[in-house]
Amino acid sequence: MSNNMSYEGSSLINRNVTVGGKRTSIKLQELEWKTLEAICAQEGLSISDFCTLADSSPERAESCRTSRVRMAVLDYLLKQTKALRLPGTPPRDYSYG
């Protein structure tokens, strides 16, 4: 299977966001930032709002904030792709917004 997608500038990009009322920085790949921006536009959230929800979610067990945001983005996309369910995982309902 070939993948024709190519993303220039795939190095990490550091951005400042406010999470839980505190200024912090998060490093994500360019594609991850673009995906996060698209999710936020779709849900009517700011990036800081999404990051705060991901960071404070009891469903997020990842040890670092960046990982919690990355996994929240992935969970959101998996939720949108209802036909795709990973073997051995229960369905999840993440509501953002």
pLDDT for 79 equals 84
Long-range pairs, 1-9, Cβ under 8 A, ≥24: 7/31
pLDDT for 8 equals 57
Which residues 6+ apart lie within 8 Å of 94 measured at CB?
57, 59, 72, 75, 76, 79
Nearest to 60 by CA among 32, 38, 51: 51
pLDDT in tens, 36-80: 999 999 999 999 999 999 999 888 888 899 999 999 999 999 888
* Structure token digits, residue 17: 């966001």
Q: What is the mean pLDDT of residues 6-15?
A: 73
66: number of Cβ within 10 Å = 18
